[in-house]
Amino acid sequence: MTRLLLIGPPGAGKGTQAARLAEIYGIPAISTGDIFRSNVKNGTELGTKAKAFMDAGDNVPDSLTNALIRDRLEEDDAQDGFLLDGYPRTTDQVRELDSFLASHGAALDAVVELEADPEVVISRLRKRALEQGRSDDTEAVVRHRLEVYSEQTAPLINVYASRDVLVTIDALGEIDAVTARITEALVERGISSADVTSR
Ligand code: AMP
C-alpha cells in the first residue's frame, strides 16, 4: 500500500513520471488536470465550469476540485494506494486531503517534489504546445501558471518538509534517469515497488 504525491511546476514532467511510477508501484495515477481535461472534452457541467480557469492558467476553485478528488479517492482502485499528480495545489486542498486521509486512517508515505528551473520548463512546455496543442500551453498562460505555482503551490513544499515526508528530485535529464532517482530515493525511505514487495 503506497500513497504518494507528485508536486512540481508545470512542465517538470509530473505526468510522464506519474505514469511510470503508477506502473512500478502498482497504484493508479490520479491527475486532477487529466480529470478536468476529460470533463472539458466531454462537455460535462464540471468541465464547463472549469474551462475558463484552465484556459487562463488559474487554479480551478477548491470547492470544485475537492469534491472531484474525494469521489475519485473513494473508488475501488484507490483503496490500496494511489499517486496524486497535480493535487493538492493549495493549502486549502492540503487540509481537505489531510481530513480525507485521517477519516480513512491513512497517511501519505512520501511527497515527491520534481524540481526544475523555470526557463527549462517554459521551453519544455513550448515543445508540448506544438505536440499536444493544449490550450493552456501558450507562452503567456505558461508564465501565469508558473506564477500561480510559486504563489499557491510552492508553499506546500515546506508544509510537507516539516512533516518529514518530502523527497526532492532533480527533474532535469533523461526520463529514465529521473524515474531512477525517484525510485532510489523512495527505497531509502523504505518504499519499494510492487514487484519487490510481492516476492
Ligand atoms: P495540470 O494538468 O496539472 O497542469 O492542470 C491543468 C489545469 O487544471 C491547471 O492549470 C488548473 O487550471 C487545473 N487544475 C488541475 N489540478 C488542479 C487542482 N488541484 N486545483 C485547481 N486546479 C487544478
For cell 493544449, the residue is: 134
Residue type, 185: A
Residue 182 predicted with pLDDT over 90:
yes
Measured in Å, residue 99 CA sits from the centre of ligand 1 at 21
Return the half-sphere exposure (C-beta side, CA atoms, 13 A cut-off) of residue 87. 29
127's enclosing H/E stretch is helix 118-132
**Nearest C-alpha to atom 14 of ligand 1 is from which residue?**
33
CATH code where residue 125 lies: 3.40.50.300
Looking at the structure of the chain, the number of domains it has is: 1
For residues 35 and 195, the model is more confident at: 35
Measured in Å, residue 180 CA sits from the centre of ligand 1 at 26
The confidence band for 195, taking pLDDT boundaries of 50, 70 and 90, is: low
What nine digits make up the cell of 50? 472549469
pLDDT tens digits for 92-137? Answer: 999 999 999 999 999 999 999 999 998 888 988 888 888 988 888 8
Query: Are the C-beta atoms of 88 and 94 separated by less than 8 Å?
Result: yes
Owning domain of residue 74: 2-197
Measured in Å, residue 196 CA sits from the centre of ligand 1 at 33
Does this model's pTM top 0.75? My answer is yes
For cell 457541467, the residue is: 45
SS3 assignment, position 3: strand
Ligand 1, pocket residues at CB < 6 Å: 10, 32-33, 36, 53-54, 57-60, 65, 86-87, 89, 93, 136, 145
Q: How far is it between the farthest Cα atoms of the chain?
A: 49
Mean pLDDT of the chain: 94
Q: In whole angstroms, give the CA distance from residue 129 to residue 125.
A: 6
